Amino acid sequence: MKKNPSAVPAIAAVALPALAIAGAASCSEAKPLSKNSRPNVIFIMMDDAGYGDFGCYGQKKIETPNIDAIALRGIRFSDMYSMAPLSSPSRCGLLTGQHAGHAQIRANDEMTWRGNVWDHAAMLADPALEGQFPLAAGTQTLGTMMKSAGYSTAMIGKWGVGAPLSEGAPNKMGFDYFYGYNCQRQAHVYYPPFLWENSHRVYIEGNELLPPETPLDEGADPYDPRSYDKYTQAKYSPDLMFDKITCYIDSVAATKTPFFLMYTTTVPHSSVQAPEDEVLYYVNKLGDEEPVNGKNYYSNRYPHATYAAMITHIDTQIGKIVEQLKRLGLYDNTLIVITSDNGPANNTNSPMEYFESGGPFKCRKGWGKSSLHEGGIRMPFIVAMGDYLKGTGVQQTPFPLPEGGRITGHVAQFTDVMPTLAELAGAKCPQTDGISFLPTILGKKQKEHEYLYWEFPGGKGWVGVRYGNWKGFIKGVKEGVGEFSLFDLSTDPREGKDIAAEHPEITSKMWEIVKEAHAPVPSGNPAYIMDIDAVAPAD
């Protein structure tokens, strides 16, 4: 067994100026939901799960009975949006309450100036090659906010917004405990040689380095399941994380301290891997399929079955968490949120079209992850607290969701999570771009956003706005494109008919929103910069 090194090389912290937000909404200190006991919060976020990947959002092939049961006792949001169509910026926005026009992190930045960061062997030897661009020292996050309100705080899963030992590492961002992948590149394998526990690497006995590009052995039969055995090692990371979750809940429950736990599982991000018996269950259910050459990920004999098994595996974990909460007498006083960081991926490992992972939205290459189409940023979002929120509600969407439970058409964004939890916990909320949706949860009058805003410097450069039922985006800012495509989501949720030419007054309004919402990147990081001013119409 490998041993932890006595000294891990430090990563130089990136010096960033303090974040200044102009014109952001603020939320005042609020009273707790209950006078007697502040609710615990478990926030579960999957990685690349689509709007349509859960049964309660219309999935027909993948079984999610525990998630569906929670949805029946809670509220499903039909119009909840992530902060960005990619991992790091989405997590940054969620943690800080800043939309993409104000956020510190606006795209994935692997900081390639450090060296060959994509070489997994090099990263294993040198932790200084791990991790993504960090949040600035002193940034107020969900962790710092809940901690200041007297909560025990933990994140178990994937971090992705601050390299190990940088100022953006989890323990410096308000989380008392962290376990999982600090670096999202490391998270491309589910049998990793190590995970991080707080600021230390923990090497995993029986798991050796096997980079995701590793091909089948020469001459191996791609139709023989045994040809893929080398990709499965001793310990499956979602199970290691789940063990830490149950231990954390038990330990904090014994102290009677309210807790805030984020389970940011890497499932179902590629490479797709799951326990063999669970994969075979779906092979029997879905039938045989063609193997895939994983290219940037692992090859896989049964990619469809494996993807489904991964989601069901986490669903089973969620059911066990509910059982644990009931056993400890915490179920009725624990708010559970279930969502995803961005839309489904398109690669040989992620069968988004087969499962219709985009749900009612167009689901094919270019329309999910890494795009500002609805399939890239509209998320499943479930909120429940025991049976406290149970009831029925009228749908307000142009596409039906499965019946049962409460469904809200309130238009919201991950910016809203911070003010909502502040109000729920009686915490002082930092300045954010969000609006608390606690009134929606409680069935009270809800303040609405005037608009939602996105910018994403990945690909050709995107800008997006939702204004009422209008959805507009620009694709190609980096190539000098400055014209909005425009869609009426009430009649065209698949964004099939561009009606910008018919409504110049709406696209003009959207440009006003862009000019109001966009602020310079506070770090000046060139990886996050698009010259939006260059394509903006003259005033």
Domains and CATH numbers, the chain: 40-448 (3.40.720.10), 450-539 (3.30.1120.10)
C-alpha 391/C-alpha 74 separation (Å) is 8
* Mean pLDDT computed over 280-307: 96
pLDDT at 311 over 70: yes
- Give phi and psi for 487, each to the nearest 5: -140, 145
Pairing mode, if any, of strands 177-181 and 194-197?
A: antiparallel
pLDDT at 478 over 80: yes
By C-alpha distance, which of 204, 98, 90 is closest to 158? 90
C-alpha 464/C-alpha 453 separation (Å) is 6
* Mean pLDDT computed over 201-230: 96
Q: Which amino acid is at 454?
A: W
Looking at residue 394, its pLDDT comes to: 66
- Give phi and psi for 40, each to the nearest 5: -70, 160
C-alpha 190/C-alpha 119 separation (Å) is 17
pTM across the whole model: 0.93
Spatial contact of 343 and 364, defined as CB atoms under 8 Å apart: no
Residue pLDDT, tens place only, 375-418: 999 999 999 999 999 887 767 677 888 988 899 999 999 999 99
